[in-house]
A and B are shown apart, each in its own frame.
Chain A
Amino acid sequence: MAQLLFQSSDLQKHRRKVLDAGRTDEGAVVRDTDGTTLLLLPKVLHDGLEVMVEMTQGFLVAAAAIDRDSTRASEFGSFAWMVFLDADDRKECLFDLRDALALLANGNRSAFEDVLEAWRITATELSDELRRTVLLGKLQDDDFEEVDRPV
């Protein structure tokens, strides 16, 4: 469905039509008396676009930091936690986030957030030296001891 164009006077004369058009995914365009065009959209769509812009910016900043082999968290911007990932994991993370951004662009915000959260948690777990040693180390059978149900 094409975007509908309204004049500012339609806000008074055809208010219901303007509002109904503004509830659609395409939104309603209203031209003000000085020629400025305004877009009326469902807020949820606008919020999604804001997240998309914010996450795309974050992705680009982090990708640039990875290209520079940066070791400073501040250079990773809003994805500062990436600094705890090694080079291979950073690349894998970028691939995953790129695919997830495509899902976000299609309105699948929860799928994007799931991927982002899984990587953020992974990096946070690796930020501690002992946890990192165990999670990335070669584990032997005798590293473990059986335990009972807590009482």
Chain B
Amino acid sequence: MISKKSTVRSDPSPGGYRPYVSARRPGGKPSKKPGFRVLVHRKYLPIWNEIPERAGLENAQQFYDHVAYTPGVIPSVGSSVILKGKAGKPMKPGYSRTMHYSITGAGRINYQWSRKAKDGAKGDAHPVVKILTINLDSH
């Protein structure tokens, strides 16, 4: 019988070359794992990719962080309202109403979120944000 201890790789001798030890991520670990997967409607993927250039990288990252961690709360930067009428209705049971997020002076994004979405064939419940539309035209 092989003891557990024998399966643990020990470091090579001090100062030795260690080719199979992975490097640490520059800047350390991310502060926390995103709580929500962020998905974009395919028709708006080209515009999504333009957000950093047209609205500024900082604004784009602030929006992503907002929806990835706290999609249902009032954002600390920018503003949001819930759309009214049919445009605000949840796409499926378990989804929020449509949130309308304004990137300061740079555009507007509509999304819905769910803590326990059951999408796809596997049907495993997971938190998800679905970005429905993006409008980068100025008012």
A-side residues, CB < 8 A to B, are: 85-86, 88-89, 92-93, 96, 114, 117-119, 121-122, 125-126, 128, 130-131, 134-136, 139, 141, 143-147, 149-151
Contact = CB atoms under 8 A, between A and B. Distances in A.
Interface residues of B, number: 39
B87 A146 contact: no
B79 to A, nearest CB: 10
Contacts of B5: none
Interface of B: 34, 37-45, 48, 51-52, 57, 60-61, 64-65, 68, 81-88, 91, 98, 100, 108, 110, 119-120, 130-133, 135
29 contacts: A92-B85, A93-B84, A93-B85, A114-B81, A118-B83, A118-B84, A119-B85, A121-B81, A121-B100, A122-B84, A125-B83, A125-B133, A130-B43, A134-B43, A134-B132, A134-B133, A135-B87, A135-B133, A136-B86, A139-B41, A141-B119, A143-B41, A143-B43, A144-B39, A145-B45, A146-B37, A147-B38, A147-B48, A149-B61
A125 B81 contact: no
A91 B128 CA distance: 32
B2 to A, nearest CB: 41
Contacts of A121: 81, 83, 100, 108
A126 B40 contact: no
Given A125-B133, A125-B135, A147-B48, A135 B41 contact: no
